Amino acid sequence: MRSRASRSVVLSAGAALSAVGLVLAHGCGRDESGSGRETRERRASQVAAAWDGSAAASEWRSGFHPMGDMVQLPKGGPRSKADARAVRERGFVLEGRLPAARPQDGRVAWDGGESLARPLAGAHESFETLTGARVGGKPHLTVTGAKLGEMTVATSRGPAVVPAWLFRLKGYDSPLKRAAVAPSTLPQPPIEQAREDPGHLDRLVEVSSDGRSVTVVALRGACDGDSVVEVLETRGSVVLSATVEDPQNGGDCTAQLLSQQVTVTLKRPVGDRVLLDAHTGRPVACKPWLGPSPSWS
């Protein structure tokens, strides 16, 4: 099944190349011949066969793996452009006291009664995940206190209610919520990363509310055409293979990568199937907007 591409973003060469271990020089495209397609299809089948019915898949389904943001802004979002900039640049400052006591384990609760005990982060530790290096004079949001509450997070097992720190922001009536529960560690993948370079998925953006479409960020060379994501669906997994249209196979190419969102439509909802990257053989990485969750490190 093919995919629908949307906007592209130029990544800095150093950061992008470091992230995926690529060197783009004379010709930054990939082989789109029949043999190239056969290689991708064979690799996707191998990944699905390795995961379906495996101990890794069972471990994945029994854990807590966030598939969306672990931070929720106050209702209505930022009230001004300056506040929106402060959020983007992690400009949070603390004025006041945060609870000092470190809470015990909390529970992640799914519909249907399933739950899982997970360690909780303290208020100070959670606040530190919101902050970045601030330079004087930049816009900022002021945190005046916090209390332990709850929030709903998208996970690999559907929506879950989790313990969260509710941070009070000066000038806002509702809190900023930061999930306090630690994600489960990823299982060891039952297949090694591919030696070939069929394409790269950078991260998961979202799974639609009905589970019938998945949006990811794919990486491509600056000389290539649009990113394409192909799908292999099995009973236990959804394997995504990244490639490009109209690859540049010759000539000079600037050493940079483009980041492009691509949405794929599935034959049936994702459900509890594992969403996999054909190249790495691992679950597609979820990288929330304020940094990756610990389970993807």
What pLDDT digit, counting tens, does each position of 192-244 carry? 999 876 568 888 988 888 889 999 999 887 777 788 999 999 999 999 999 88
In this predicted structure, what is the pLDDT of residue 77?
Answer: 94
In this predicted structure, what is the pLDDT of residue 167?
Answer: 97
Tell me how far the alpha carbon of residue 211 is from its chain's centroid.
16
In this predicted structure, what is the pLDDT of residue 282?
Answer: 93
pTM, full prediction: 0.79
- Domain residue extents for the chain: 3-62+189-290, 71-179
Average pLDDT over every residue of 10-21: 38
φ/ψ (deg, to 5) at 242: -95, 140
In this predicted structure, what is the pLDDT of residue 102?
Answer: 78
What pLDDT digit, counting tens, does each position of 152-195 carry? 998 988 899 999 999 999 999 999 999 999 889 889 999 999 98
Distance CA 163, CA 182 (A): 10
* pLDDT band, very low/low/confident/very high, at 253 (cuts 50, 70, 90): low
At the top level of CATH, which class does the domain 71-179 belong to?
A: mainly beta
What pLDDT digit, counting tens, does each position of 77-106 carry? 999 999 999 998 889 999 989 999 878 889
Distance CA 296, CA 1 (A): 27
